[in-house]
Chains A and B, each alone.
Chain A
Amino acid sequence: MAKDVAASLNDILQNDQEALLRTWVDRQVGSPGFRSDRTSRQEVADHSARFLTQLREAIRSGDTNILASPWTDARRVLDELSFARAQQGFSPSETAQFVFSLKQPLFERLRRDLVNDPGLLATLTSEADALLDTLGLYTTEVFQRGREQVIMRQQQELMELSTPVVTLWDGVLALPLIGTLDSARTQVVMESLLQRIVDSGASIAIIDITGVPTVDTLTAQHLLKTVAAARLMGADCIISGIRPQIAQTIVHLGVELGSVITKATLADAFAIALRRLGLAVQKTAAAPARRDREGEDRDVRSSLDRPEN
Chain B
Amino acid sequence: MERIPILKMGEYLLVSIQVDMHDRLAMTLQADLTDRIVSVHAKGVLIDISALEMVDSFIGRMLGDLAAMSRVLDAETVVVGMRPAVAITLVELGLALKGVRTALNVERGMDLLRNRIDARGREDAGRE
Contact = CB atoms under 8 A, between A and B. Distances in A.
A203 B108 contact: yes
Interface residues of A, number: 18
Given A234-B80, A234-B82, A229 B104 contact: no
Interface string A29-59: 0000000000000000000000000000000
Contacts of B108: 201, 203, 234
A235 B104 contact: yes
B91 A233 contact: no
Interface string B19-37: 0000000000000000000
Interface in A100-123: none
Interface string B66-92: 000000000000011011101110111
A195 interface: yes
B97 interface: yes
A191 B85 CA distance: 8
Contacts of B83: 198
Contact of A194 (B79, B84, B96, B109): B84
A198 B105 CA distance: 9
A229 B87 contact: yes
A229 B105 contact: no
A201 B104 contact: yes
Contact of A231 (B84, B88, B96): B96
A225 B92 contact: yes
B102 interface: yes
Given A203-B108, A232-B91, A232-B97, A198 B102 contact: no
A250 interface: no
Interface string A223-245: 00100111111110000000000
B78 to A, nearest CB: 8
A216 to B, nearest CB: 19
A20 interface: no
Interface in A175-198: 187, 190-191, 194-195, 197-198
B84 A228 contact: no
B62 interface: no
B103 interface: yes
A194 B86 CA distance: 10
A233 B102 contact: yes
Most chain A beta-carbon contacts within 10 A, residue among B80, B83, B103, B104: B104
B59 to A, nearest CB: 13
6 contacts: A198-B104, A231-B96, A231-B102, A232-B87, A234-B80, A234-B108
Interface of A: 187, 190-191, 194-195, 197-198, 201, 203, 225, 228-235
Given A234-B103, A234-B105, 16 more contacts: A191-B88, A194-B84, A197-B84, A198-B84, A201-B108, A203-B104, A229-B90, A229-B91, A230-B87, A232-B79, A232-B86, A232-B90, A232-B102, A233-B84, A233-B102, A234-B102
